[in-house]
C-alpha cells in the first residue's frame, strides 16, 4: 500500500501536472498509464516553465524512474522530440530512468489522416479532438487486426510485415473518406519508424513486470492521470470524450498494477470548469465573466492552443467524477483566478425538465438539457497568490473552497493559489 494517484475529476486541465510535480519527490516511480500526446501538463518552478505531453512529469526529477505504461498510445516522433527538449534543458535521461512498455500501442501517420477524415465527416458534430491520432490508434488496439505495439516497432521484421499488411488497407479506407488523400507508402513509413525504433529500443521493456517487482520491493509509485473523469470513454460525456479510461478506472488496466496498492487517490479539481473540444457543458459562461476567467486563468490549450471553454464550478459533474474514481480527498486548484469576482456561482444540482437531480446523465442529449441550479456565494476581491496557509485565506475564499468540497463530497487537502510549485496551501 505505497502508491498515490492523481486524477482529474473534470474535463481535463485541472492542473494535475502541478500536483504530480509536487508529490514526485516523495515517490520512487512516476507512471503515465493512459492517453498520449493529447495531454498537456504544465509545471512551473524556480521561474522555469515545462510543458509535458507524453512524458510523465516525474521526468523533471533526477531521483525517480518515469514509466510510460501499457495503456498509453505512443507517437515515437513526439516522444523523441519531447525527450530531446528535456535533455537539452536538464541533461541526459538514461534509459534506466525512462521506461516504455513493450505492450503500448504505436501511433502512425495514417492514424492522424483517419482522424482528420472522421472529424471532417462529422461537420458541426465533430468531437473536437486534439488531432494527434489518439482515438484512431485506440480504435486499432481494440480492433486488434491493425494494431502495432512497441514490441513490434522495435523488431524490424515484424514492423515491415505489419506495415505491408496494414498500410494498403488504410490507404483504401482513407481514400474512401477523403478525395484529396495522398496514399501512404510502406517503404517511407518503414524507414522513418525504423529510425525511431533504433532510438527507442533502449527504453522499451516489460513495464508491467518492472512495476510488479517495484511494488514487491516496497517502492513508492505515483500514478499520473491524464485527461479527466468526464472524458472517460466508458463513463464520461460520450461521445465527446477521449478514447481511454481517463477516470480512476483506468489505472489498473493501463498500468497492469492493481489499484489495491494505492493508499491515496487525490482528485484534482479546478475552482471553476473548463472544456476543450465539443459537447454539452451545462455551466458554460459565454459572456464577459467567461472571458475574464479565460484571461486571468490563461485558459488556452497547452497542446493545440485552442481557447478553453470556461464556466462555473459544476458539483454534479465533479462529484460524479470523484465517486467514479473513488478519491480520498480533493485538491482545489486555480482558486486565485476567481480573486477579482464580486460573486461566484456553484452548480449544486441540475434541473431536468422541471425535476431537480444530482445525477450526471448517461447521454449527452440529456446533459444538453440540464439547467444548472446555482448557489451564489460572495467573492473575496483580494489577491490570494501570496498566501501559504489556510488560516490566512480571506474568509470568503476559504468558505468557497469548503462549499466546493462539501458539494463534491470529499475533504480538501490541497489548495492552489498560483501556477508555481510554491503557490500551494498544504496546511
Query: Contact between 291 and ligand GDP (CB under 6 A)?
Result: no
Instruction: Give the active site residue among 21, 27, 41, 140.
Output: 41
Compute CA distances 300 → 13, 230, 292, 376, whole Å.
10, 19, 13, 27
Contact region for ligand IMO (CB under 6 A) — 92-100, 125-133, 172-180, 400-408? 125-133
**CA-CA distance, 270 to 8, in Å (whole number)?**
9
Residue 8 is given by DSSP the state E
The listed partner (ligand IMO, ligand GDP, Mg ion, none) that binds 242, CB under 5 to 8 Å by sort, is ligand IMO
Residue 317 or 334: which CB sits closer to ligand GDP?
A: 334
All residues at 6 or more sequence positions from 126 whose CB lies less than 8 Å from its CB, including other chains: 119, 120, 278
With contacts defined by CB under 6 A, how many residues of the chain interact with ligand IMO? 24
Contact region for Mg ion (CB under 5 A) — 13-21, 54-62, 233-241, 370-378? 13-21
Instruction: Please write down the long-range contacts of 282-290, taking CB distance under 8 Å and 24 or more positions apart.
Output: 282/311, 282/314, 282/316, 282/317, 282/347, 282/350, 282/367, 282/370, 282/371, 282/372, 283/311, 283/312, 283/313, 283/314, 283/345, 283/347, 283/372, 284/309, 284/310, 284/311, 285/310, 285/311, 285/312, 289/341
Binders in 176-215 for ligand GDP, by CB under 6 A: none
* Chain centroid to CA 345: 26
Query: Contact between 224 and Mg ion (CB under 5 A)?
Result: no
Least Å distance between CB 335 and Mg ion? 18
Site pattern 168..207 for ligand IMO (x: CB under 6 A): ----------------------------------------
Binders in 156-185 for Mg ion, by CB under 5 A: none
Least Å distance between CB 188 and ligand GDP? 34
Q: Where are the alpha helices (DSSP H) in 144-155?
A: 150-153
Residue 13 or 232: which CB sits closer to Mg ion?
A: 13
13 catalytic? Reply is yes
Query: Contact between 246 and ligand GDP (CB under 6 A)?
Result: no
Question: Which residue among 13, 140, 314, 336 contacts ligand IMO (CB under 6 A)?
Answer: 13
Query: Contact between 230 and ligand GDP (CB under 6 A)?
Result: no
* 8 Å CB contact between 289 and 365: no
Query: Contact between 418 and ligand GDP (CB under 6 A)?
Result: yes
Give the three-class secondary structure for 375: strand
Query: Contact between 419 and Mg ion (CB under 5 A)?
Result: no
Q: Kind of pairing, strands 29-32 and 343-352?
A: unpaired
363 catalytic? Reply is no
Least Å distance between CB 164 and ligand GDP? 38
User: Helices 156-177 and 186-200 meet at what angle, rounded to 10?
Assistant: 130
Please provide the distance, in angstroms rounded to a whole number, between the alpha carbons at the two ends of the chain.
Answer: 24
The listed partner (ligand IMO, Mg ion, ligand GDP, none) that binds 38, CB under 5 to 8 Å by sort, is ligand IMO
Query: Contact between 232 and ligand IMO (CB under 6 A)?
Result: no
Active site residues: 13, 41
Amino acid at each position: 500500500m505505497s502508491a498515490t494517484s492523481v486524477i482529474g475529476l473534470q474535463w481535463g486541465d485541472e492542473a494535475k501536472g502541478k500536483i504530480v510535480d509536487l508529490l514526485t519527490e516523495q515517490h520512487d516511480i512516476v507512471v503515465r498509464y493512459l492517453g498520449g500526446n493529447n495531454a498537456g501538463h504544465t509545471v512551473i518552478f524556480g521561474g522555469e516553465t515545462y510543458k509535458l505531453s507524453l512524458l510523465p512529469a516525474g521526468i523533471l526529477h533526477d531521483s525517480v524512474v518515469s514509466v510510460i505504461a501499457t495503456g498509453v498510445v505512443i507517437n515515437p516522433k513526439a516522444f523523441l522530440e519531447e525527450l530531446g527538449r528535456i535533455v537539452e534543458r536538464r541533461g541526459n535521461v538514461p534509459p534506466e530512468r525512462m521506461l516504455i512498455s513493450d505492450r503500448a500501442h504505436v501511433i502512425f501517420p495514417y492514424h492522424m489522416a483517419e482522424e482528420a477524415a472522421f472529424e471532417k465527416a462529422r461537420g458541426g458534430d465533430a468531437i473536437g479532438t486534439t488531432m494527434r491520432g489518439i482515438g484512431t490508434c485506440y480504435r486499432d488496439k481494440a480492433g486488434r487486426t491493425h494494431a502495432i505495439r512497441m514490441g513490434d516497432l522495435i523488431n524490424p521484421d515484424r514492423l515491415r510485415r505489419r506495415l505491408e499488411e496494414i498500410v494498403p488497407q488504410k490507404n483504401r479506407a482513407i481514400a474512401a473518406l477523403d478525395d484529396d488523400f495522398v496514399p501512404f507508402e510502406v517503404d517511407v513509413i518503414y524507414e522513418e519508424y525504423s529510425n525511431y525504433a533504433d532510438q527507442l529500443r533502449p527504453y522499451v521493456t516489460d513495464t508491467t513486470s518492472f512495476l510488479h517487482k517495484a511494488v514487491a520491493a516496497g517502492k513508492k509509485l505515483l500514478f499520473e492521470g491524464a485527461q479527466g473523469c468526464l472524458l472517460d470513454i466508458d463513463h464520461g460525456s460520450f461521445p465527446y470524450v477521449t478514447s481511454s479510461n481517463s477516470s480512476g478506472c483506468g489505472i489498473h488496466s493501463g498500468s497492469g498494477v492493481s489499484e489495491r496498492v494505492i493508499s491515496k487517490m487525490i482528485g484534482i479539481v479546478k475552482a471553476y470548469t473548463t472544456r476543450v473540444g465539443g459537447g454539452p457543458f451545462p455551466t458554460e459562461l459565454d459572456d464577459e465573466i467567461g472571458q475574464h476567467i479565460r484571461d486571468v486563468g490563461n485558459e488556452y490549450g497547452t497542446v493545440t492552443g485552442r481557447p478553453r471553454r470556461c464556466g462555473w464550478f459544476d458539483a454534479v459533474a465533479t462529484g460524479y467524477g470523484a465517486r467514479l474514481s473513488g478519491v480520498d480527498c480533493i485538491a482545489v486548484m486555480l482558486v486565485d483566478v476567481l480573486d477579482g469576482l464580486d460573486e461566484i456561482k456553484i452548480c449544486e444540482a441540475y434541473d431536468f425538465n422541471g425535476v431537480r437531480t444530482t445525477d450526471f446523465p448517461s447521454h449527452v442529449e440529456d446533459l444538453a438539457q440540464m439547467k444548472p441550479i446555482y448557489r451564489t456565494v460572495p467573492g473575496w476581491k483580494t489577491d490570494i497568490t501570496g498566501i501559504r496557509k489556510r488560516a490566512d485565506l480571506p474568509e470568503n475564499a476559504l468558505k468557497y473552497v469548503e462549499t466546493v468540497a462539501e458539494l463534491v463530497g470529499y475533504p480538501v487537502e490541497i489548495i492552489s493559489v498560483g501556477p508555481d510549485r510554491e503557490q500551494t496551501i498544504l496546511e
